[in-house]
Amino acid sequence: MRLGVNIDHVATIRNARGGFHPDPIRAAMIAEAAGADLIVAHLREDRRHINEKDISNIIRNINIPLQLEIAPTNYMIKFAIKSKIKKVCIVPEKREELTTEGGLNISYNFNFLKENLLNLFRNDIEVSLFLDPNVENINLSLELGVNAIEFHTGEIANASGSEEMTLIKKFEAVVEYAISKNISIRAGHGLNYEKTKKIINCKNIEEINIGHFIIGESIFYGLSDVIKKMKKIID
């Protein structure tokens, strides 16, 4: 199981003062040294954290893959191709949201995706879709020729007690269905140490992507130690 470390919120802190510190490139390099399997960054329409220059600098300074999260827009697709990105995750985006609140609406974006995913595939880019965990989304992904899905775990992250148990059971059944269709499954959003332990009980997940918790926790314990602890949990 791979650990993807999302370094967006290092840039959030940097941008709060408009300068250069803390540097997300340095964070990406520390994450790599601490055992992260990939770096994740979301280029948002409003550039509230990572920007284009960060993306090219990160690629130049790390030896692990960078996964770029982008909204389904012409600009972002062109940017991914131009930047020679190897891994793209298509995510929904609303300007007014604090964070990515749910998975992509495939039906709504179907025609755009059909046309533009081909373009990404032709450029040798591995594509995943960030989706709410349900069977309909898996079937639509298959129609699009996508063979990797990242399931949005926000609902599970916010739940507790019997509601959490019910959601995890449903999640596991959906993951099993996806695996039976040869789709590789990743998961992320709102995960901390405890939630990660519960999610990875589901053995078929090949990648976990975590941002906010890792960056927040690193204020107290340091980025390297937090990543090492998370790595130990998923290993």
Task: State whether residue 49 is helix, strand or coil.
Answer: coil
Nearer to ligand PXP, 22 or 211 (CB): 211
Q: Where are the alpha helices (DSSP H) in the chain?
A: 8-17, 24-34, 52-61, 74-82, 106-122, 135-143, 154-158, 161-180, 193-199, 212-221, 223-234
Q: Smallest gap, in angstroms, from Cβ of residue 114 to ligand PXP? A: 21
User: Which of 49, 189, 207, 217 is flagged as catalytic?
Assistant: 189
Site residues for ligand PXP, window 93-152 (CB under 6 A)? Answer: 99-100, 130, 150
Q: Report the distance separating Cα 38 and Cα 6, nearest Å.
A: 9
Check the CA dihedral 104-88-4-174 and report its sign. Answer: positive
**16 vs 162, beta carbon nearer ligand PXP:** 16
Q: Would you call the peptide bond into 22 cis, given omega within 30 degrees of 0 as the criterion? A: yes
Shortest spacing between CB 128 and ligand PXP, in angstroms = 8
Decide if residue 89 touches ligand PXP (CB under 6 A): yes
- Residue 210 CB, shortest distance to ligand PXP, in Å, is 4
* Active-site pick, 42, 150, 152, 207: 42
User: Which residue's CB is nearer to ligand PXP, number 64 or number 180?
Assistant: 64
- Residues within window 171-230 making contact with ligand PXP, judged by CB under 6 A: 188-191, 209-213
9 a catalytic residue:
no
Select from 22, 30, 85, 20 the least CA-distant residue to 62: 30
48 φ, ψ (degrees, to nearest 5): -70, -20
The verdict on 158 binding ligand PXP (CB under 6 A) reads: no
Structure tokens at 66: 């960078």
CA distance 166 to 12: 34
42 is an active site residue: yes
Give min distance, CB of 187 to ligand PXP, in A. 8
189 is catalytic: yes
Which residues in this chain contact ligand PXP in the complex, by CB under 6 A? Answer: 6, 42, 69, 89, 91, 99-100, 130, 150, 188-191, 209-213
* Residues annotated catalytic, as ranges: 42, 69, 189
